[in-house]
Structure 1
Amino acid sequence: MSVIDEIGRSKHVSLVSYRKDGTPVATPVWHVTEGNELLVVTEARSWKVRRIRRNPTVEVTVCDLRGRIKTGAPTATGTARVLDEAGTAAARQKLAKKYVSSRIGNWFARLVRLRRPPLVAIAVTL
């Protein structure tokens, strides 16, 4: 089984982006794989988006919900890019298919008309 397949089967991955000084910052995220790309949705004004716009090199490692990485977990290095509105909408739909919690959260937000910050999708080419 390839690294991309193992990453695609996992529930969470640690997305490592880099600060200006080169310090790595790991964030556990939900993801969906599509071919050799990994799709992640996050708030548009998050620090990870700012770091990726400055330096698109990222590292992806299988982790648990809290971001803990087991010894020997599959890891891949890739190049990230921020997607437009259409790409973000498509990524959100794919994430909703994979994660029930996402569907429930989106439904609840619409039900009570919560104001949500703008979202953006990140595509990582592995």
Structure 2
Amino acid sequence: MIRFRADPGADQFYALKTFRADGSAAITPIWLAPVGSGWFGYTPARSWKVRRIEHNPQIELAPCQFDGTPLSEWRRGRAGILPAQLRGEATRALRRKYGRKFDVFALTLALGRPRRHGGPAVGLAIRLDGETPEPNPAGRRPSAPEPAPADTPPRPDGPSQGGPGQGGPSPLDVAVFLDEVLLLAAYAVGGARSVDGPVAGVLLAFALPIGAGLVWGRWLPPRARHRLGRTGALAVKLTLFTAAAGLLAATGLSPWAIAFWAGSLPLVIASERRR
């Protein structure tokens, strides 16, 4: 039995079936988050699925594996491109569900804008046949939306908390993401320089970032089973960044260690204060 609504956080990937001009189907794995009376996604404007949806809004949807293999029966619905002023609703819903993974995904899309099938990111709006609005977080059930025309996307519940152009990751999100990449790089460089011999250096260059990533993945992601509170998460982050800076300093890279630590400290604190 498909459970699109009963447990919206359980399904990580969805198989989106769109239709070409000749009627044949194309299946694409995608991330989706429930909002009000529909589902929102995020994708490049020049992607093939956007072109197919613009030609034919009829779609089918099913939870799936990473590669797009459906895990349940297909459900029919309609899809459309969100107006620019509602794109922020899509990004907030996806960020609530997928956490930092969505920020990485959004950054990847931004970096891929020059590609032939890239372009600026747009919000996808999907309404499944027979679906009714969910109760909102405040416990008030919104009135059911009026039947929408074929080219009208589903509406979010409540007013938007953002404005036009606020759909992508914020500058702080980008800075925090890049700082976390630098954290792994610092462990890799420090590990490679901390021992004699190329083999041992290569092994540590891989082992230390992997170890830091395992610690991070156990306690810090938004959906981690053992996610720490704000104080505990701040302590773990400061420990990881301090250890990385200390490793750089111990291997003769003191100026880099100081610059890394001085730049990381305010970002770590700012990211935790925003939680």
TM-score, normalised via structure 1 length: 0.82
Q: CA RMSD in A?
A: 2.3
Superposition pairs for residues 16-55 of structure 1, below 5 Å? 16-55=17-56
Tell me, in whole angstroms, the C-alpha distance in 1 between the residues paired with 2:26 and 2:112.
28
Q: Which structure would you say has the larger Rg?
A: 2
Task: Please give the secondary structure, in 1, of the residue aligned with 2:4.
Answer: helix
Q: More strand per residue: 1 or 2?
A: 1
Which residue is 1:122 aligned to?
Answer: 124
Amino acid aligned to 2:5:
D
Alignment CA distance shift 1:42-1:114 (3 Å): closer
Q: Distance in 1 between matches of 2:46 and 2:7?
A: 26
Give the residue type in structure 2 aligned to 1:4.
F
Q: Deviations over 1:18-40 (max 9, x none)?
A: 00000000000011012331111
Answer 1 or 2: which has greater helix percent: 2
Instruction: Give the whole-Å Cα distance in 1 for the aligned partners of 2:63 and 2:91.
Output: 20
* 1:58 and 2:59 aligned: yes
1:102 corresponds in structure 2 to 102
Pick closer, same or farther for the CA change 1:105–1:15 going to 2, 3 Å: closer
Structure 2 spans left out of the alignment, 5+ residues: 114-118, 129-275
Q: Does the CA-based 8 Å contact 2:34-2:93 persist in structure 1?
A: no
Inter-CA distance 29–7: structure 2 relative to 1 (3 Å threshold): farther
Paired residues of 1:3 and 1:76 also in contact (CA < 8 A): no
Are the aligned partners of 1:7 and 1:13 in contact in 2 as well (CA < 8 Å)?
A: no
| Number of aligned positions between the proteins | 120
Q: Normalization by structure 2: what TM-score?
A: 0.40
Distance 1:78 1:7, change over 3 A: farther
Consecutive aligned runs of 4 or more in structure 1 exceeding 2 Å deviation: 1-4, 6-9, 103-106, 113-117
